[in-house]
Amino acid sequence: MVINMKKFAELIYSPESATGEVLSKVESHTPKIIAPDKVKANEEFKIKISVGPHPNTVEHSIRKIEIYVAEKTRKFNPILVASIDLIPIYSEPELEIKLKLKETSTIYAIAYCNLHGLWENRKEIIVED
């Protein structure tokens, strides 16, 4: 058995888990989630994810953003609802999509920086009938 082999989840940084040198990267790498606190079931609403300010060069940039939904009563979470690859220099790490939710859910946004790894943020959205 490989003793140092971490679970993948332990490789994802978040503001709560950041310590030491990682703390200086929290502000520039944690995805910002702009979404309503409450929505109606099965009604479209907009969600915006952005990262930064962050460098956007060939050597250092945000390369990918993914959005997952974890439904409150679903047995197997999460659901991948959006995934976007970003090209350095040309593409800025900001996207807006429309979602529909069936039930109260937690939205997870994951950003990947080629130098500083994976960064997570999350927001609960209450779904009212």
Which among 10, 40, 7, 4 is positioned nearest to 117, based on CA atoms? 10
Per-residue mark of binding to Fe ion, 86-115 (x: CB under 5 A):
---------------------------x-x
Q: Does 63 bind Fe ion (CB under 5 A)?
A: no
Q: Does 116 bind Fe ion (CB under 5 A)?
A: yes
Nearer to Fe ion, 72 or 116 (CB): 116
Would you say 43 and 100 are in contact if contact means Cβ atoms under 8 Å apart?
yes
Does residue 78 have a cis bond before it (omega within 30 degrees)?
Answer: yes
**CA 67 – CA 65 distance, rounded (Å):** 7
Q: Does 64 bind Fe ion (CB under 5 A)?
A: no
Q: Which residues lie across from 38 on neighbouring strands?
A: 126
Site for Fe ion in 3-22 (CB under 5 A): none
Quote the least distance from Cβ 114 to Fe ion, whole Å. 7
Where on the chain is the footprint of Fe ion (CB under 5 A)?
A: 113, 115-116
